[in-house]
Amino acid sequence: MIGQVSVQSLPTQPRPVGTRSVPFARTFVTDEAKAAVAEVLASGWLTSGPQVQQFEAHFAAYLGVRCAVAVSSCTAALEIALRGLRLPEGADVLTPSMTFCGAVNAIVHAGLHPVLVDIDAQTLVPRADQVDAAAARSRPAAMVVQHMAGYPAPVRELAAAAGLSVDDVVEDAAHALGTYLDDVPIGRVSRATCFSFYATKNLPMGEGGAVTTQDDDLAEYVRRVRLHGMSRDAWRRYAPGGGWAYSVDDAGVKANLSDVHAAIGVGHLPHLPLWQERRSVLAERYDRLLADINGLTLPPRPLAGTHAWHLYIVRITPEFGRDRNGVAAALAERGVGTSVHFTPVHRFPYFRSLLGEDACSRLDESDQAFSEVLSLPLYPGLDVDDLHYVAEQLRAIRS
């Protein structure tokens, strides 16, 4: 379906609105991906093998990066990449509080100590002064930079504000496949960049992740650690001429990607440019339809670089007449699915007890943004009429 729909053919007039159901997310699987999965199932090799190798090669070429190593999730990618920095046990790692909880768990599982940074309530990524303030209260050895919604966070500027170099930065690019910093794609900027291929992300595989890096040693480390720290994976051991022997040089984890998932990625990657174009057209359409609604703040456009439009996050401000939860409930009644990205981790009991009340304070803009943010449906297969319906309902429920 989507592969054939050109961006120009999007209808400009909405159909009359009736009772509709517009889910928050819907995963489209291309015919190429279905055929590739069928081939994998017929091949008799389901775990990591030739499809993973092919996906890694295609993904690295797509981003123009030296190395791409596939893993089972972005969460695993973050943990392994952070371990690969070989920092002292318990070293401080800066992270926004307003991020996905799994990304902060990954810092903990890597044996490191998260230091929470506030975010700018407009862009939803940290500003240099906020990084500077968090760095002044800690001794950061590394930083995780997250490109919220696909908005390009200024990696170099934030690293400098922490007194770090880009080699000390691991990017959480779960939203940032398609994000460019100036004219460089995310994936080539810092020491290691972690991608997610979870079912709702911009390149969906169901489950999956990758680490990209220009550093051969780090790539080799990720390759080893993703599969128990073993020096040779099963594909290499069982290949003709391969032997049973392997060594173990690191405390590995079990985070390899299966060939079934990799085949979906191989089948989806050629569609990604058109999907990205479509996301950007839909975001512009939202911008136009929602611009004049009082009490609604639209997502900012980056000053430089390109937004990947993984999410379209509006903020509901007091002039709207209903709060965010009220808006989400009213939209749900009208068949429109929405979501909230994210509950800042300092509001969860686990992180409060781990980090202490003081480390969970001075995060006012995160709290402010959290009370206002609402993610609207945005995916390449979103029907333009459905998008118009979402906009109309938002207008209708304002009081």
Ligand X SMILES: *Cc1c(COP(=O)(O)O)cnc(C)c1O
Binding interface with ligand X (CB under 6 A): 73-75, 99-100, 102-103, 146, 172, 174-175, 196, 198, 209
The residues with which 114 forms a beta bridge, in sequence order, are 93
Rounded CA-CA distance 140/126 in Å is 15
Between 198 and 370, CB nearer to ligand X:
198
- If the CB atoms of residues 107 and 384 are measured against ligand X, the closer one turns out to be 107
- Partner residues linked to 373 by β-bridges: 315
Nearer to ligand X by Cβ, of 269 and 391: the residue is 269
CB 74 → ligand X: shortest distance, Å? 3
Q: Are 304 and 340 in contact (CB under 8 A)?
A: no
Q: How far is the CB of 54 from ligand X (least distance, A)?
A: 20
Residue (99 or 193) nearer to ligand X, CB:
99
| Phi, psi for residue 22 in degrees, rounded to 5 | -115, 100
- Angle formed by the axes of helices 384-397 and 324-333, nearest 10°: 130
For 88, other C-beta atoms within 10 Å of its C-beta total 8
Q: Could you confirm whether 34 is annotated as catalytic?
A: no
DSSP, collapsed to helix, strand or coil, labels residue 251 as coil
In the bound complex, what is the minimum distance in angstroms from residue 321's beta carbon to ligand X? Answer: 30
Helix (H) or strand (E) holding 198, with range, is none
- Least distance (Å) from ligand X to the CB of residue 342? 7
DSSP state of 297: E
State the minimum distance, in angstroms, from the CB of residue 176 to ligand X.
9
* Contact by Cβ (8 Å): 155, 166: yes
Joined together, the tokens standing for residue 265 give 């990625």
DSSP helix/strand/coil, 375 = strand
C-beta closer to ligand X: residue 260 or 394: 260
Smallest distance, ligand X to C-beta of residue 76, A: 7
State the DSSP string of 62-102: HHT-SEEEEES-HHHHHHHHHHHT-PPTT-EEEEESSS-HH
Residue with Cβ nearer ligand X (173 or 290): 173
Residues 208 and 228: their CA atoms lie apart, in Å, by 17
Q: State the DSSP code for 306.
A: B
The residue from 201, 226, 261, 346 that is catalytic is 201
Q: Rounded to an integer, what distance in angstroms lies between the CA atom of residue 313 and that of residue 376?
A: 6
For 153, counting Cβ atoms within 10 Å of its Cβ (0-12 exposed, 13-18 middle, 19+ buried), the class is buried
Residue number, 100 or 389, with CB nearest to ligand X: 100
Dist CA 224 CA 353 (whole Å): 33
Query: At its nearest, how many Å lie between ligand X and the CB of residue 226?
Result: 13
What amino acid positions are annotated as catalytic residues? 201
